[in-house]
């Protein structure tokens, strides 16, 4: 018996029953209609993606805003607002031809002027975009549907910069000449995307409606998306189990709940859509002082860590143990490096050799929930087993930020996004020009090696693929030997969803690219 | 006349206490490591010097602390609680948007716990040393000792997941588009689990306190007199024992009522109730100073208001207090 049998949220359950009784033959023609109920955690602070860059905002607002390009699982560019593009042979000129008949959600036409404005907007407000645009000399709009970027020097990673989170399009007619942060449009964001902002009951639900005038014919297929704000992980799991929610994005399910939820009947799990960000979990090792300043100590840490145990026990076997400083999804990854094996004896021998005297070493966990807490306990145990004297210092997110930014740690958990190219995601961690207090995302460990600086700098502007590859291979070998920090895991980003939802993830940024292609079989 | 001056004196003291709380909270919050600019930069996944400076300047965090305090207090005195750094909205708007949901939840829990608690306590007092009385006391001990969080999870598991009688979370059914009475009914259904969960602990406390208090009053001489003059037992229970036993319960109810704004963080989290407790917790995690101070202010205001109200109710319940105070 149910007091709420007429609730529309049950639609998915009904759909599920149909799926179960229908022949197993999966449909491949998209069906229009239906509503997606998705978990979002934590609640985004705002949906104006060009101004608010945190993870939940990107996830929801990727439906509202769009970039010029999308990227497939091999990080190859695909058309979005730009229909086609051309890179000159010298790698200095990028010419984009825009899609015709694109309108903003308020009906105004989208044009090349908007692109030029967006570049300036993002350069002013977003440090990450600022860095990607560092080599850009000029951006011009010769006509309404053409945009030309001219670079000062070749910068092959530049083609990765047109993803919706890095360079979302901002409506010029609403923002030009205004105080961006107090613009009324921030509360009702206007984009060109497949879904429009409809309503936001703070603390409860964000509602997006299908954009009826979307420029790709027939899309999107879904009528509505509801993003349910449920702060407690156990409650989220219950809402998926009882059929209220259809899609649980990465991070909304605690790791210990993953097997239970994904093994439910009609429930699917995918790790796709992780290729662009590819969060890379590391331990910052303070290269400046204390035992961690000694290379032998840092190598000992690598030998002491049982990374496979962490992967299999804490992360349900999802993810990848890296062989060195580059994640396996990067084209420049060097497959020939031998990963540090789990070898406590070698770790102890190295510690003896350096004469480690049991000086206490502080460990700062990442306060991102249960799995991270357990992981820090596992790491602590690994390190204590080889005789390292660990003191755990816990903190909340703001405190963690502060400690890392002030270099007030010995060993600290973190994870970093890769953004599809070593010059965007990896170089920042080792480049000695990038040592400055105040940020938890730069060369926080204080590693300084002129050779490494030079290789990263040259590779970033090298237009020849083979030469670039050779430089990156050399840098990987140096870093692998020096262990400026401990590479512990390439994190998986599992999405759990009802199997009757199709084409949910079609690009390398996964759900962040919006539900343009998603459809529900019913 | 003495009544008026009493109230005026109380209000004057209350204002001073409120201001002192504000100043104290201000320094307490700023003593925590990390500031909103750093948290926001951290979440953006990338940052540079310029970004942090822009943020701090925009939030006024580049000013010395006393200047920031002076500006904040000046704002509060004109009922301007500032801007939430993070949510890009005026603090007062954010609080007023979330306050009704919390007051509905805590108000319902208050009503449930107080009425059922007194009822159960009275029954238990009348049935001392009988199985039904022991059962009531056993249950109240159980509710008193069980962590709220666990009760909430079990309630969801049993009533939502297994039995599917009640909605597991939220304030209203998403996408149902109910209006009027149907909407009210929908909200009421959603309210049942969180309100009962939140009310259980205090219900247990009221039950135990009512019983103890009634038993001690029933030993008093005036109760013997009432019995001796042949009053009906029901009348004695209600008029003579219960009314005299109520004072400690009023004290406790005043305390519970004072917690109505900030006391439901856990319940709101488990049931995804869009109340102010969650807003407070998030503001704390994000070092959203203005929002946090604003919520603290409302919490303090409510505690002070209910303390004053409790004093008034004392006087109504027991006229002797009025005489001694005057």
3-state secondary structure chain B: CHHHHHHHHHHHHHHHHHHHHHHHHHHHHHHCCCCHHHHHHHHHCCCCHHHHHHHHHHHCCCCCHHHHHHHHHHHHHCCCCCEECCCCEEHHHHHHHHHHHHHHHHHHHHHHHHHHHHHHHHHHHHCCCCHHHHHHHHHHHHHHHCCHHHHHHHHHHHHHHHCCCCCCCCCCCCCCCCCHHHHHHHHHHHHHHHHHHHHHHHHHHHHHHHHHHHHHHCCCHHHHHHHHCCCCHHHHHHHHHHHHHCHHHHHHHHHHHHCCCCCCHHHHHHCCCCCHHHHHHHHHHCCCHHHHHHHHHHHHHHHHHHHHHHHHHHHHHCHHHHHHHC
Average pLDDT, chain B: 87
**CA angle, A407 as apex, A406 and A408 as ends, to 5°?**
90
Q: Which residues of B touch A131 (CB under 8 A)?
A: 46, 48
Q: How crowded is residue A22: how many other Cβ atoms within 10 Å of its Cβ? A: 12
* B251 — pLDDT class (breaks 50, 70, 90): confident
Contact A405, A435 (CB under 8 A): no
Q: Which residues of A touch B89 (CB under 8 A)?
A: 187
Distance separating alpha carbons of residues A31 and A245, to the nearest angstrom? 20
Residue A437: closest CA among chain B residues belongs to which residue? B49
Residue A38: closest CA among chain B residues belongs to which residue? B174
Fold of B92-324: MetI-like fold (1.10.3720)
Contact A47, A198 (CB under 8 A): no
Contact yes or no for A231 and B278 at CB 8 A: yes
Check residue B2 and give its pLDDT: 63
**CA angle, A191 as apex, A190 and A194 as ends, to 5°?**
120
When pLDDT is averaged across residues B143-169 and rounded to a whole number, the result is 86
Distance from CA of B271 to the nearest CA of A (A): 7
Fold of A14-64+193-274+496-520: D-Maltodextrin-Binding Protein; domain 2 (3.40.190)
- What residue spans of A461-502 are helical by DSSP H? 465-482
Distance separating alpha carbons of residues A198 and A207, to the nearest angstrom? 5
Please indicate if any CB of chain A lies within 8 Å of the CB of B35: yes
Q: Which residues of B touch A235 (CB under 8 A)?
A: 156, 168-169, 270-272
CB neighbours of A117 closer than 8 A, spacing ≥ 6? A170, A172, A175, A176
Q: How crowded is residue A136: how many other Cβ atoms within 10 Å of its Cβ? A: 17
Distance separating alpha carbons of residues A94 and A68, to the nearest angstrom? 12
H or E element that contains A200: strand A195-201
Please indicate if any CB of chain A lies within 8 Å of the CB of B157: yes
Contacts A–B by Cβ distance under 8 A: 171
Residue A240: closest CA among chain B residues belongs to which residue? B161
Contact A310, A378 (CB under 8 A): yes
* B44 — pLDDT class (breaks 50, 70, 90): confident
Check residue A432 and give its pLDDT: 94
Task: Show the low-confidence residues of chain A (pLDDT under 70).
Answer: 1-27
Contact yes or no for A241 and B189 at CB 8 A: no
Q: Considering CB atoms only, which of B33, B58, B161 is closest to A398? A: B33
Please indicate if any CB of chain A lies within 8 Å of the CB of B68: no
Contact yes or no for B168 and A242 at CB 8 A: yes
Distance from CA of A477 to the nearest CA of B (A): 26
Q: Which structure tokens are listed for B170?
A: 């939220």
CB neighbours of B149 closer than 8 A, spacing ≥ 6? B266, B270
Contact B294, B92 (CB under 8 A): yes
Name beta bridge partners: A103.
A109
Closest to A171 measured CA to CA, from A88, A51, A271, A73: A51
How far, rounded to the nearest angstrom, does the alpha carbon of residue B304 sit from its chain's CA centroid? 12
Distance separating alpha carbons of residues B10 and A410, to the nearest angstrom? 54
Q: Which structure tokens are listed for A462?
A: 């090298």
Check residue A1 and give its pLDDT: 34
Q: What is the pLDDT of residues B200-247, one digit of tens each?
A: 988 999 999 999 998 988 888 888 898 898 888 888 888 888 888 888
CB neighbours of B150 closer than 8 A, spacing ≥ 6? none
Check residue B323 and give its pLDDT: 52
Burial A390-401 (b: 16+ CB within 10 A, else e): beeeebbbbbbb
When pLDDT is averaged across residues B22-42 and rounded to a whole number, the result is 86
Distance from CA of A123 to the nearest CA of B (A): 11
CB neighbours of B7 closer than 8 A, spacing ≥ 6? none
Terminal-to-terminal C-alpha distance of chain B: 10
Q: What is the pLDDT of residues B124-135, one digit of tens each?
A: 988 888 888 889
- Which CATH code for domain A69-175? 3.90.76.10
Distance from CA of A417 to the nearest CA of B (A): 8
Distance separating alpha carbons of residues A461 and A443, to the nearest angstrom? 20
Between the alpha carbon of residue A376 and those of residues A372, A393, A442, A488, the distances in Å are 6, 10, 22, 12
Distance separating alpha carbons of residues A59 and A42, to the nearest angstrom? 11
Contact A507, A72 (CB under 8 A): yes
Multiple choice CATH, A279-490, 1.10.1660.10, 3.10.20.30, 3.10.105.10, 3.90.79.10: 3.10.105.10
Contact A412, B43 (CB under 8 A): no
Q: Which pairing describes strands A146-151 and A224-229: parallel, antiparallel, or unpaired?
A: unpaired
Please indicate if any CB of chain A lies within 8 Å of the CB of B17: no
Q: What is the pLDDT of residues B276-326, one digit of tens each?
A: 999 999 898 888 999 999 999 988 888 888 888 888 888 887 777 765 544
Contact yes or no for B52 and A204 at CB 8 A: no
Q: Which structure tokens are listed for A322?
A: 């890296």
Check residue A25 and give its pLDDT: 45
Distance separating alpha carbons of residues B30 and B132, to the nearest angstrom? 54
- What residue spans of A209-316 are helical by DSSP H? 233-241, 258-262, 295-304, 307-309
Domain with CATH 1.10.3720.10 in chain B: 92-324
Contact B46, A127 (CB under 8 A): yes
Q: What is the pLDDT of residues B159-182, one digit of tens each?
A: 888 888 888 888 888 877 788 888
Check residue A208 and give its pLDDT: 97
Query: What φ, ψ does residue A165 adopt, rounded to 5°?
Result: -75, -30
Distance separating alpha carbons of residues A497 and A261, to the nearest angstrom? 9
Question: Domain-by-domain residue ranges, chain A?
Answer: 14-64+193-274+496-520, 69-175, 279-490
Q: Considering CB atoms only, which of A9, A127, A402 is closest to B48? A: A127
Q: Which structure tokens are listed for B232?
A: 């009906």
Distance separating alpha carbons of residues A516 and A32, to the nearest angstrom? 12
Q: Which pairing describes strands A205-210 and A195-201: parallel, antiparallel, or unpaired?
A: antiparallel
Residue for token pair 């992360």: A315
Distance separating alpha carbons of residues B283 and B290, to the nearest angstrom? 9
Residue for token pair 């929002």: B291
Q: Which structure tokens are listed for A99?
A: 């899609």
Check residue A19 and give its pLDDT: 40
Please indicate if any CB of chain A lies within 8 Å of the CB of B64: no
Say if residue A127 is exposed, middle or buried (CB neighbours under 10 Å; 0-12, 13-18, 19+): buried
The ipTM assigned to this model is: 0.84
Check residue B171 and give its pLDDT: 87
């Amino acid at each position: 018996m149910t007091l709420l049998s007429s609730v529309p949220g049950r639609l998915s359950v009904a759909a599920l029953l149909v799926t179960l009784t229908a022949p197993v033959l999966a449909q491949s023609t998209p069906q229009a209609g239906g509503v997606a109920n998705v978990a979002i955690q934590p609640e985004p602070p705002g949906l104006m993606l060009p101004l608010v860059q945190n993870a939940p905002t990107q996830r929801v607002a990727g439906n509202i805003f769009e970039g010029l390009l999308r990227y497939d699982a091999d990080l190859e560019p695909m058309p979005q607002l730009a229909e086609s593009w051309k890179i000159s042979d010298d790698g200095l000129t990028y010419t984009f031809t825009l899609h015709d008949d694109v309108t903003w959600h308020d009906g105004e036409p989208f044009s090349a002027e908007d692109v030029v404005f967006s570049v300036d907007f993002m350069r002013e407000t977003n440090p990450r975009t600022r860095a990607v645009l560092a080599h850009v000399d000029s951006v011009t709009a010769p006509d309404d549907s053409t945009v030309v970027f001219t670079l000062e020097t070749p910068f092959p990673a530049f083609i990765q910069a047109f993803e919706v989170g890095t360079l979302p399009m901002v409506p010029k007619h609403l923002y030009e000449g205004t105080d961006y942060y107090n613009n009324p449009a921030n509360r009702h964001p206007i984009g060109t995307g497949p879904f429009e902002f409809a309503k936001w009951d703070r603390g409860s639900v964000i509602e997006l409606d299908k954009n009826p005038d979307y420029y790709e014919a027939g899309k999107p297929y879904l009528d509505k998306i509801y993003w349910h704000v449920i702060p407690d992980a156990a409650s989220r799991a219950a809402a998926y189990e009882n059929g209220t929610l259809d899609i649980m994005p990465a991070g909304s399910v605690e790791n210990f709940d993953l097997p239970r939820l994904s093994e439910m009947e009609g429930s699917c799990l995918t790790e796709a859509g992780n290729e662009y960000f590819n969060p890379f979990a590391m331990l910052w090792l303070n290269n400046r002082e204390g035992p961690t300043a000694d290379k032998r100590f840092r190598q000992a840490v690598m030998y002491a860590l049982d990374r496979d145990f962490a992967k299999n026990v804490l992360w349900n076997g999802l993810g990848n143990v890296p062989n060195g400083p580059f994640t396996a999804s990067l084209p420049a990854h060097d497959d020939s490096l031998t990963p540090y094996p789990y070898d406590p004896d070698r770790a102890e021998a190295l510690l003896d050799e350096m004469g480690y005297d049991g000086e206490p070493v502080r460990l700062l966990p990442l306060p991102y929930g249960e799995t991270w807490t357990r992981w820090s306990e596992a790491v602590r145990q690994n390190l204590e087993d080889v005789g390292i004297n660990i003191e755990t210092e816990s903190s909340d997110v703001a405190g963690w930020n502060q400690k890392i930014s002030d270099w007030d740690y010995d060993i600290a958990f973190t994870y970093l996004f890769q953004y599809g190219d070593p010059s965007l995601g990896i170089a920042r961690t080792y480049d000695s020009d990038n040592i400055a207090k105040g940020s938890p995302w730069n060369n926080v460990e204080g590693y300084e090696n002129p050779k490494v600086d030079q290789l990263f700098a040259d590779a970033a502007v090298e237009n020849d693929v083979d030469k670039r590859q050779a430089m990156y291979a050399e840098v990987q070998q140096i870093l692998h030997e020096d262990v400026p920090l401990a590479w512990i895991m390439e994190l998986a980003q599992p999405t759990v969803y009802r199997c009757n939802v199709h084409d949910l993830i079609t690009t390398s940024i996964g759900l962040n690219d919006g539900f343009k292609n998603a459809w529900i079989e019913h | 006349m003495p009544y008026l001056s009493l109230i005026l004196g109380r209000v004057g003291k209350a204002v001073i206490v409120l201001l002192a709380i504000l100043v104290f909270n201000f320094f307490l919050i700023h003593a925590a490591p990390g500031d909103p600019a750093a948290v926001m930069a951290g979440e953006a996944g990338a940052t540079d010097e310029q970004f942090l400076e822009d943020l701090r300047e925009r939030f006024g965090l580049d000013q010395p602390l006393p200047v920031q305090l002076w500006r904040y207090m000046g704002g509060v005195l004109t009922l301007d609680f500032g801007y939430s750094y993070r949510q890009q909205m005026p603090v007062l708007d954010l609080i007023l948007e979330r306050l009704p949901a919390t007051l509905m939840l805590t108000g319902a829990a208050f009503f449930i716990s107080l009425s059922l608690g007194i009822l159960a306590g009275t029954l238990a007092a009348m049935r001392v040393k009988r199985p039904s009385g022991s059962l009531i006391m056993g249950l109240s001990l159980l509710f008193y000792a069980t962590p709220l969080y666990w009760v909430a999870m079990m309630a969801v598991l049993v009533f939502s997941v297994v039995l599917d009688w009640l909605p597991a979370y939220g304030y209203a059914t998403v996408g149902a588009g109910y209006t009027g009475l149907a909407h009210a009914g929908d909200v009421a259904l959603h309210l049942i689990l969180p309100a009962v969960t939140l009310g259980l602990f205090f219900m247990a406390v009221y039950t135990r306190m009512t019983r103890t208090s009634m038993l001690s009053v029933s030993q008093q001489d005036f109760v013997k007199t009432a019995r001796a003059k042949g009053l009906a037992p029901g009348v004695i229970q209600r008029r003579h024992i219960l009314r005299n036993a109520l004072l400690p319960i009023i004290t406790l109810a005043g305390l519970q009522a004072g917690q109505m704004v900030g006391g439901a963080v856990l319940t709101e989290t488990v049931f995804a109730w869009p109340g102010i407790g969650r807003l407070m917790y998030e503001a704390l995690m994000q070092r959203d100073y203005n929002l946090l101070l604003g919520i603290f202010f409302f919490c303090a205001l409510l505690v002070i208001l209910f303390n004053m109200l409790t004093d008034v109710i004392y006087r109504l319940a027991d006229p002797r207090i009025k005489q001694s105070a005057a």
